[in-house]
């Protein structure tokens, strides 16, 4: 059974006023609710580089076709954005996302070179250069680069560039020393976001079999 194969279809009118037939995913909570209430039905699992729902389902549930159970339990609808990328996929994603994010003084899009893109993605800066630098573009324009954001030493709070560089004053207008912060590069930010997707809930085989049965009951499959 492939993901969504057993789900019924419904008619839905889209914003363009066209009515289309789509899979009814609204029944998903009904399939998992009775099982997720018991934590003993699941174990936390950290996805290893390159693993897919199919390989995990095969290794732990004995059936690659039960990949949909893993996705259903973890409320994953879009593998591209919600499943951790491999190092190669992350690199390709960053290139696609940031390579053409620069415009010249006339507003025309500029494609960055590989070295320029690498410098932008990895830049953090230091207090001595006010956490910023410049890149000379082929167009003759100069691009200012900065960290993605800043975080405190415990990584519990994030700050933007303007907040960190501004002179902090209290309610009486008196300057004070802000907490120590650490710059976070674009690459580190995107990598951390990707890593947060690695921990998933893994159902045991008994629960997976019951979920399969329950889905068939709901859909009369």
pLDDT, tens only, 116-128: 999 999 999 998 8
Please determine, for residue 153, whether its predicted confidence score (pLDDT) is greater than 70.
Answer: yes
Residues 107 and 145 in one domain: yes
Please determine, for residue 99, whether its predicted confidence score (pLDDT) is greater than 50.
Answer: yes
Residues 130 and 174 in one domain: yes
**pLDDT at residue 9, rounded to an integer:** 59
Residues 186 and 152 in one domain: yes
- H/E element holding 73? helix 67-73
Contacts of 57 by beta carbon, 8 Å cutoff, 6+ apart = 63, 64, 65, 66, 67, 69, 70
Please determine, for residue 6, whether its predicted confidence score (pLDDT) is greater than 60.
Answer: no
Residue from 21, 2, 77, 33 nearest 218 by CA = 33
Mean pLDDT estimate for the chain? 80
Distance in angstroms (rounded) separating the CA atoms of residues 59 and 91: 27
Residues 97 and 115 in one domain: yes
Q: Does residue 19 belong to any structural domain of this protein? A: yes
Mean pLDDT lowest among 4-18, 69-83, 136-150 = 4-18
Distance in angstroms (rounded) separating the CA atoms of residues 20 and 138: 47
**pLDDT at residue 7, rounded to an integer:** 58
**pLDDT at residue 49, rounded to an integer:** 95
**pLDDT at residue 208, rounded to an integer:** 83
Q: Does residue 145 belong to any structural domain of this protein? A: yes
Tally of domains in the chain: 2
DSSP per-residue codes, 89-146: HHHHHHHHHHTT-EE-TTS-EEPPPHHHHHHHHH----GGGTT-EEEE-TTS-EEEE-
Q: Does residue 1 belong to any structural domain of this protein? A: no
Q: Does residue 92 belong to any structural domain of this protein? A: yes
Q: Does residue 147 belong to any structural domain of this protein? A: yes
Residues 67 and 111 in one domain: no
Q: Mean pLDDT, to the nearest integer, of 12-33?
A: 56
Distance in angstroms (rounded) separating the CA atoms of residues 151 and 213: 47
Using left for φ > 0, alpha for ψ between -120 and 50, and beta otherwise, residue 61 falls in: alpha
Residues 109 and 181 in one domain: yes
Residues 122 and 176 in one domain: yes
**pLDDT at residue 199, rounded to an integer:** 96
Q: Does residue 39 belong to any structural domain of this protein? A: yes
Please determine, for residue 75, whether its predicted confidence score (pLDDT) is greater than 50.
Answer: yes
DSSP character for 194? H
Structural domain for 159, as ranges: 87-195
Q: Does residue 4 belong to any structural domain of this protein? A: no
Residues 63 and 97 in one domain: no
**pLDDT at residue 39, rounded to an integer:** 72
Burial annotation 157-180 (CB, 10 A radius, 16+ → b, else e): eebebeebeeeeeeeeeeeeeeee
**pLDDT at residue 1, rounded to an integer:** 41
Q: Does residue 2 belong to any structural domain of this protein? A: no
Residues 133 and 75 in one domain: no
Residues 60 and 96 in one domain: no
**pLDDT at residue 204, rounded to an integer:** 86
- Banded model confidence at residue 50, pLDDT cuts 50, 70, 90: very high
**pLDDT at residue 220, rounded to an integer:** 63
Residues 73 and 160 in one domain: no
Given CA atoms 36, 37, 41, 45 in this order, what sign does their dihedral have? positive
Residues 76 and 139 in one domain: no
């Amino acid at each position: 059974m492939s993901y969504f194969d057993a789900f019924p279809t419904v008619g839905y009118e889209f914003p363009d006023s066209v009515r289309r037939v789509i899979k009814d995913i609204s029944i998903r909570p009904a399939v998992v609710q009775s099982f997720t209430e018991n934590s003993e039905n699941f174990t936390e699992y950290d996805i290893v580089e390159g693993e897919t729902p199919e390989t995990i389902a095969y290794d732990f549930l004995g059936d690659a076709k039960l990949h949909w159970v893993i996705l259903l339990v973890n409320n994953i609808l879009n593998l591209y954005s919600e499943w951790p990328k491999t190092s190669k996929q992350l690199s390709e994603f960053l290139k696609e996302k940031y390579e053409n994010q620069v415009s010249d003084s006339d507003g025309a899009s500029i494609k960055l070179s590989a070295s320029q893109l690498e410098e932008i993605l990895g830049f953090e800066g230091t207090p001595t250069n006010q956490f910023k630098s410049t890149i000379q573009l082929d167009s003759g324009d100069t691009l200012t680069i900065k960290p993605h954001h800043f975080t405190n030493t415990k990584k519990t709070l994030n700050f933007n560039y303007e907040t960190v560089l501004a002179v902090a004053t209290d309610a009486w207008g008196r300057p004070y020393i802000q907490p120590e912060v650490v710059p976070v590069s674009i690459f580190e930010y995107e990598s951390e976001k990707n890593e947060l997707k690695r921990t998933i809930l893994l159902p045991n085989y008994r629960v997976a079999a019951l979920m399969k049965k329950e889905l068939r009951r709901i859909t009369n499959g």
